[in-house]
Structures are given as structure tokens and as C-alpha cells.
Amino acid sequence: MLRVGLTGGIGSGKSTVAQRLSDLGAIVIDADILAREVVAPGTDGLAAIADRFGDTVLDDTGALNRPALGAIVFGDERARHDLEGITHPRIARRTRELVDAAPADAVVVHDVPLLVEKHYGPGYHLVVVVGTSEATRVKRLLQTRGMTEADARSRIAAQATDAERRAAADVWLTNDGTPEALLAAVDDLWTSRLLPFEENVRHGVRAGRPEQLTLSAPDPTWPAQAGRLVERLRLVFADLAVTVDHVGSTSVPGLLAKDVIDLQVGVRSLEDADETGLVDRLSAAGFPRTGDAAHDNAKDGTVWPKRFHASADPGRPANVHVREVGSPGWRWALMFRDWMRADPPASHEYAAEKRRLASTGVSVSDYAVAKEPWFDAVHERAESWARSSGWEPDRV
């Protein structure tokens, strides 16, 4: 099963995307619909609201009078908190019921207006945001909902900003063009990413990768992409993760790299990393264990063991290296990253080595091994930098 979070600001066209995904075969769970369902007449949710706020929040038929309730909670933080304490657990429970009832091969799309504001993103395999300019959204709200411009802009201002939504988005669907263009983008997302991602998760396999080596120019969004993956890994590992870090070439500003995010999880013991429950949770979250790279190339003549997981997402290749905190391999990954960040000439030298190897036609599978002689040659330089700078790894 693939879990997708879908969000977008008021007037963005999120409902159009949700409907298209439903038409394509997704199971769409609409948080707004559930919010109404749990306080419908006869529910314990409505009874709890009436008990807390009084019968004045009920209309003549005994249903919830939303304007009356809104007038009470608007601007009253305690009242709003009490209302959320009533509705949110019930919405969450109903959501779990619907997810649990979905078939194993489902793509479950959770349509949540406040996904970004509530920081729900780490709980999904992917977050899809429908992004639309404020001018377009205001125009739509005036035309389709009869709002005044002032009201429309006020509603927009009360929600997350575009910058906040972009930070949360694994997929950004721009909707400033025609409806046909938006639907075509949704169709492409469904075919090229969501369906293969779901299949990979269901079978517990990593996404396929081309054998031809391609080096990409530095992407300024790599750190944000890594940050979202870090949060998902922290959620899955819970207390078993001591550290979770973005490492590798994509963590070094300005350095060309394969478009693959490398992440390091530091655990107290590799026995923790081998717990069946954790391995299963990682696979279900889209990070299956693979047989690749079971150890690092040691610099001291010993074996540097680790556990290796890879992303099942065809749209975001990622490697997860699980190492014991304080181990030589764990320390080297952090030291090398920080040395590259602090020493531009060394970073340029590494980039030149990457280009040289790429010019030889080396495959992706052989690329990591092909770089080892260069790593061995600069090992003492990196250690010297660490000693002279007083560098120590961050253990939190």
C-alpha cells in the first residue's frame, strides 16, 4: 500500500486533483468529509461538542450550527483547542479504519487541507501539493465561491505560505494553466511514479536504477529533499535512531553528484537495526533492505559493517546507510562530508575525480568501488583537517 498526502491552499484546485486520482483508481480519504461525518447528528462527537459549547451550537434540527460554533472558537485559543480535542481523535480513528480496510495494492490518497500546518508529511510515502499563484486563487474564489477580494486574500493569508508548502512537497503540481494541463500532470504522476512506487513497496524492493552513470549539476533542493526523508526515517526508527543525517555528495553545496540522496542512520547497535519489526517497518515505509554494500571500505584494515536500505520511490533515489554511532564508518561519513563543505579546493578535486571516472564509461554499480582509491589517498588529509579544526561528530 502506498500512502499519499495531498494538500493545497484554498482555490488551488486540490479537489480536481483528488477527483482525478480517484478516477484513476486511488482510494481518496477526504479529511473535510470525515470532519463532518464525526459530528453528524446522532454521533458522540456532536454530543461532546454540545456538552462543551452548549446547545446554541445546534440548529433547529439538532445538527451542528457551524457558523455559531465558528463564532465561539474564532480568536479563542482555548476553545479551538477544546474543539480539536473532540474532533481530531475521532477523525484520526476513522481515517485509520478506512486505511486498514483498503486492499494491499491500494494507492491511498489522504486529502488534508492543513497537512502542512499540522506537519503530517512524515507519515506519508509522498506529499503532493497543488500549487497555484495567489492571483489565480483569488480570481477563482471570486468566480466560484462569490467571495469578496478582501475575504479571499484573508483566507489565503490564514493558511500556510507557498514557501512552507514547497518545503513539505515531494511533488509540486502547478495549476496556473488549463484544467487539461493539470489533469495531464496528474495522469503522468499516477503512471510514472505512484503505481510503480506502490508495487515496489508491496514487494519490498528498491526502485530500478539505470546502469549508465550520470552526474548532475548541484541541485539547491537536495537538502530539503533529504530533510523530508530524514523525518520519515526518524518516524520509522523512533528511539532506535540516535542520529539521522544527510551525507554523501548531495549534502555538499556546489558539488556535482549522482542524483541520489545518501542518508546515514546512527544506531546504538546493529542488532537494533536487525530487529525484524524495524526491517519490516522500513520496507513498508518505502526503504527496503538490500543485499548491496553490507560493509564499507575500511581505512584501518578492519571491516566496517553496516546495514543498507534503498528507496522504493522511482522518483527519488535514496540510499540509507545504517551504522553504529561512534563506529569508524559512521565517523568517516560525517567527517568526509564536513571536510568537503569546509575545504573548497578538496571539493573541487573530488569533483574532478568524479568527472574523470565518468569519462571512462564506468557503470553505476562499479562507480562506488572505482572511487575508493581516491578516498584512500585523501584519508589522512581529511583526518589532518579534523585534528587541526577540532572537528567532532555531532551525536544528536
User: Residue ranges for the binding site for ATP?
Assistant: 11-16
Instruction: Let me know: does 262 contact 250? Beta carbons within 8 Å.
Output: yes
> Cell triple for residue 179?
484544467
Any residues with CB less than 8 A from the CB of 279 and at least 6 apart, and which? Answer: 273, 289
Helix axes 222-237, 276-284, angle to 10 degrees: 140
CB of 237 within 8 A of CB of 278?
Answer: yes
Taking the C-alpha atoms of residue 103 and residue 348, their distance in angstroms, rounded to an integer, is 50
Q: What span, in angstroms and rounded, lies between the C-alpha atoms of 153 and 44?
A: 36
State the binding site. Answer: 11-16
**Which amino acid type is present at position 370?**
A
Q: What are phi and psi of 53, to 5 degrees?
A: -110, -10
Burial environment of residue 180 by CB neighbours within 10 A (0 to 12, 13 to 18, 19 or more): exposed
The 10 Å Cβ neighbour count of residue 246 is 19
